[in-house]
């Protein structure tokens, strides 16, 4: 929880504060750099963090040789990412975007190394290391923002501050690693062949998953400008905060369901169906909340200069809903050893996303990008449902949850269609009434089962 809180501060809260302090152009420029670095970081990282968390606990290789040989391959990937990033910037951008992009190329490479080292410590059950250094990074960002505001500096100071925070993190991580472990400077051909053979499925899923979720930001900056990207990213940060629930669900559900997984087992299907109902209700609650309270949230967090983000509330709320709805199905594909199907799903979503964004963003800007995200995640959800049914012979949904889902979506769509204006108190009353309707969703026995699971801590 400490690590999660630190990441929320450095990944979302800090950027909400910066959105208020910077003008639209400045925040859009910073958002361009951050999303650009995110794309390069996953290219340089290539799923090795996920591999290490599987390989190291199983003692497949000597730790010191394994880490060194992995880092050797990451050097090659980092060089390719730097070259690719520079070519991309040089071909498509000039001026401030090009300058800040160069800073974030360095940021991406350092971040990818930090991601890998964190994974090694996690694999060795040393979670406190990540907690301490995530908190350190959050503190550095707070100091950077305070200095930026006090001295009225430019957005480039923030970019360099972010780079400094990541670099300090990396230096200290290397120091701690060498103190706890050691490193063997030995090129092991067996490990090299193993990494080359097995890294592609991890890397492909990881890269594609990030690309289809962030490539629209680069296209918005290219075709619609930094102001448009600032508005898009501002509300997207709110969605990302709520989507963090999805990560927490995965962290809980994967070990719990994995230990109980049996294909075509009725007891397992019953448990998965009940948990899926809880997840879907949670997703519906966030969907209703974000649509009812979007305007006060935007005004409170960002001020009136971001009010244009109201145009993308509905499509991005559906993105939130679909992502939550697919949590159970993505977990099931992972624990049932069908990771390749997840690669197929996200690749199909990437093709749709990039194609539509390339056609839509030049004309419709960030609003078009939001609706493309909606379409992409609708396809993503449909594919997850189909693949889940293929292996479990069940959609894991009951009739009453389908009914309330349809009613909820229709009511929210009617709210926009008839252009109904709600004040804060009316929105609160509507939210409470909707929550009361949930009484009819769970039977007494189901409520007892969910309570038991929570009280046992999913033991």
Q: What is the pLDDT of residues 218-234, one digit of tens each?
A: 999 999 999 999 999 99
Average pLDDT over residues 437-444: 80
Q: Is the pLDDT of residue 263 over 80?
A: no
Q: What is the pLDDT of residue 357?
A: 93
Residue-wise DSSP of 383-409: HHHHHHHHHHSS----HHHHHHHHHHH
| CA separation for the pair 57, 54 (Å, rounded) | 6
Q: What is the pLDDT of residue 367?
A: 96
Place of tokens 């923002």: 145
Instruction: Locate 98 and state its tokens.
Output: 């090009």
Q: What is the pLDDT of residue 188?
A: 84
Given pLDDT bands bounded at 50, 70 and 90, which one contains residue 330?
A: confident
Q: Is the pLDDT of residue 254 over 80?
A: no
Q: What is the pLDDT of residue 253?
A: 65
Determine which of 168-182, 239-253, 304-318 has the lowest per-residue pLDDT on average.
239-253
* Torsion sign, CA atoms 220, 226, 231, 234: positive
| CA separation for the pair 149, 146 (Å, rounded) | 5
What backbone torsions phi and psi does residue 225 show, to the nearest 5 degrees?
A: 100, 170
Angle at Cα 215 formed by Cα 351 and Cα 162, nearest 5°? 155
Q: What is the pLDDT of residue 258?
A: 64
Contact of 368 with 215, CB cutoff 8 Å = no
Contact of 396 with 278, CB cutoff 8 Å = no
Q: What is the pLDDT of residue 346?
A: 82
Place of tokens 């400094």: 164
Mean of all residue pLDDT scores within the chain: 86
Place of tokens 């959609």: 395
Could you report how far apart the first and last alpha carbons of the chain are, in Å? Answer: 18
Region of residue 100 (phi > 0: left; psi between -120 and 50: alpha; otherwise: beta): alpha
CA distances from residue 435 to 46, 78, 231 in whole angstroms, order as listed? 42, 49, 31
Region of residue 419 (phi > 0: left; psi between -120 and 50: alpha; otherwise: beta): left
């Amino acid at each position: 929880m400490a690590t999660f809180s630190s990441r929320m501060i450095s990944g979302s809260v800090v950027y909400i504060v910066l959105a208020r302090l910077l003008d639209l152009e400045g925040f859009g420029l910073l958002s361009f750099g951050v999303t650009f670095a995110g794309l390069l970081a996953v290219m340089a990282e290539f799923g090795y963090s996920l591999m290490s968390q599987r390989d190291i606990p199983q003692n497949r290789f000597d730790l010191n040789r394994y880490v060194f040989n992995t880092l050797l391959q990451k050097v090659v990937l980092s060089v390719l990412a730097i070259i690719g990033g520079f070519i991309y910037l040089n071909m498509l951008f000039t001026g401030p975007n090009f300058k800040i992009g160069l800073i974030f190329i360095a940021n991406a490479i350092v971040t990818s190394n930090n991601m890998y080292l964190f994974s090694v410590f996690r694999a060795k059950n040393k979670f406190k290391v990540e907690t301490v250094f995530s908190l350190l990074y959050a503190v550095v960002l707070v100091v950077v923002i305070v200095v930026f505001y006090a001295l009225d500096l430019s957005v480039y100071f923030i970019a360099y501050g972010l780079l400094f925070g990541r670099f300090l993190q990396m230096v200290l991580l290397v120091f701690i690693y060498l103190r706890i472990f050691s490193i063997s400077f030995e090129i092991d051909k067996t490990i090299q062949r193993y990494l080359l053979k097995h890294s592609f499925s991890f890397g492909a899923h990881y890269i594609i998953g990030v690309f289809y979720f962030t490539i629209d930001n680069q296209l918005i900056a290219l075709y619609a400008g930094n102001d448009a990207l600032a508005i898009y990213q501002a509300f997207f940060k709110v969605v990302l905060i709520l989507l963090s629930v999805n990560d927490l669900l995965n962290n809980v559900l994967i070990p719990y369901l994995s230990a109980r997984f049996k294909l075509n087992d009725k007891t397992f299907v019953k448990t998965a169906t009940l948990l899926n109902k809880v997840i879907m209700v949670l997703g519906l609650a966030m969907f209703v909340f974000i649509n009812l309270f979007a305007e006060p949230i935007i005004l409170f967090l960002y001020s009136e200069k971001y009010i244009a983000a109201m145009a993308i509330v509905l499509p991005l709320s559906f993105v939130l809903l679909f992502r939550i709805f697919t949590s159970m199905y993505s977990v099931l594909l992972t624990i049932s050893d069908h990771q390749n199907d997840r690669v197929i799903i996200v690749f199909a979503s990437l093709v749709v996303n990039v194609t539509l964004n390339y056609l839509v963003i030049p004309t419709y800007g960030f609003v078009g990008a939001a609706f493309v995200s909606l379409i992409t995640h609708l396809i993503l959800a449909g594919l997850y449902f189909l693949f889940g049914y293929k292996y479990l012979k069940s959609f894991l949904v009951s009739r009453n949850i389908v009914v309330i889902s349809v009613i909820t979506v229709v009511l929210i769509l009617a709210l926009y269609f008839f252009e109904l204006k709600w004040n804060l108190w009316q929105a609160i009353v509507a939210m409470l009434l909707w929550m009361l309707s949930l009484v009819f969703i769970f039977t007494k026995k189901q409520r007892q089962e969910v309570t038991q699971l929570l009280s046992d801590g999913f033991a």
